[in-house]
A = this chain, B = another copy of it.
Amino acid sequence: MFNKRIRIKEVLGTEPQQQEITVMGWVRTFRNNQFVALNDGSTNNNLQVVLTLGEFDEALLKRITTSASLKVTGILVPSLGKGQKVDLKATSVEILGDCDAEKYPLQPKKHSLEFLREIAHLRFRTNTFGAVFRVRHALAFAIHKFFNDKGFVYLHTPIITASDAEGAGEMFRVTTLPLEGAPTTEEGKIDFSQDFFGRSTNLTVSGQLEGELGATAFGEIYTFGPTFRAENSNTARHLAEFWMIEPEMAFYDIEDNANLAEEFIQYLIRYVMEHNADDLAFLNQRLLDEEKQKPQAERSELDLLQKLQFVVDNQFERITYTEAIDILLQSSHYKKKKFQYDVKWGIDMQSEHERYLVEKHFKKPVIVTNYPKDIKSFYMRLNEDGKTVAAMDILAPGIGEIVGGSQREERYDVLTSRMEEMGVPADELWWYLDTRRYGTVPHAGFGLGFERMVQFVTGMGNIRDVIAFPRTPKNAEF
């Protein structure tokens, strides 16, 4: 048995009483042949290990370089330094693994996020990414806890799917057929009966339709899994592979849906504020430092911590799409022709419109409901007016759309005629329609893009910096 270490996060919260402990971790810095700042990834705060001068071999001291890994046993004593409560006075130091400081790509200086993306396998070892991925973990756990506490069932909807009816975006093909000389039918088409699944299959763009199958049995379910878009979008907001949370609830209308989504987002933020205060403080300071580079006018009014506090303390604004368009049309921004894209009832709002509503007009998260049916999906419930559907988007400051959802069309006849109108093949979705044939219920659901939520809470500007190994056009490294 090797592992009798205590985590540094725990050590730093311990009263020093001359107790002997063992820690293991990686060297962040080594000063004066005496002071090792040791980190084990449990927190950004390092443990100061003190090596009494003359008590350790020169040969050993030379091997204590940045990112070398150590096993240190010692006595926990009150710290001599500022900002920490305890020091570890080393009685034995073992080098577990050397690190050639000259070759090590992470030098003890500030690296650009772009450079760190190229060494994504090592960037977890920096303070920024340590904080980001601990917050990501906390958010993931909070998501499961929120739904588990409410009695939702976690459903794993399929990743490989033969259905391409949802139309949420371009799909990746999944196949075992050879690209060179794939078998063909007599008519000269690809013979998918010879493919692994006996038909053409893709990576899922959403678990919603299958989620509805679960909701109409368990009442309330949620998914939390990877989803995919084969879109050639090389932006700071898009990934080809990302994680999504999709709760789906029987017996919910659009208002219940909005209430749940708001409570959910506030819960997640509150959870991280309680459990990751250190990491948020670090990320807050990081952003403040970054903002200092910007001209005064471009700096945010609220810092990250203030923004998060504001979101948990205030109700989200709720408006209809029609009201949103009116606000845009009446804005001085519109009158001064500052929008690049036109504004009129019926448009699919552009990012600039959403940002105006959220960042300039309301200055808080906004829930927009009842969109024109022509810009939304077939499964959204048609409103009485015959023109709009019970859709719901949540727009967040600095991020844009973070949640998209709707009450679902539970009426068999309305649903099938909408499918016909929109060219969605009913025969492929026989199983989906069965839920409307056999004891249909009013129900609703939404999707939260997990990485967008991590961005919102960490303040990271590029979505590639909140997922471990981003998948983007021309990039599948690691």
Contacts and interface: CB of A to CB of B under 8 A. Distances in A.
B474 A197 contact: yes
A402 to B, nearest CB: 18
Given A144-B141, A174-B173, A175-B173, A468 B219 contact: no
Given A40-B219, A213-B478, A251-B2, A159 B226 contact: yes
B2 A240 contact: no
B210 A441 contact: no
A12 interface: no
A97 B176 contact: no
Contacts of A319: none
Interface in A241-272: 241, 243, 249-253, 255-256, 259
Interface stretch (A122-130, A280-288, A291-299, A337-345): A122-130
Nearest to A25: B219
A457 interface: no
A156 B230 CA distance: 19
Q: How many copies does the complex hold?
A: 2
- Name, among A125, A243, A469, the residue most crowded by chain B CB atoms within 10 Å (CB to CB): A469
A387 interface: no
Contacts of A153: 41, 133-134, 137
Interface of A: 1-3, 5, 7, 9, 24-27, 40-42, 67-69, 71, 96-100, 103-104, 121-122, 124-125, 130, 133-134, 136-137, 140-141, 144, 148, 151, 153-163, 170, 172-177, 179-180, 182, 184, 189-190, 196-199, 201, 203, 210, 213-214, 217-219, 225-226, 228, 230, 232, 240-241, 243, 249-253, 255-256, 259, 410, 431-432, 434-442, 467-469, 471, 473-478
Given A100-B438, A130-B217, A173-B175, 4 more contacts: A69-B440, A124-B213, A141-B144, A160-B240
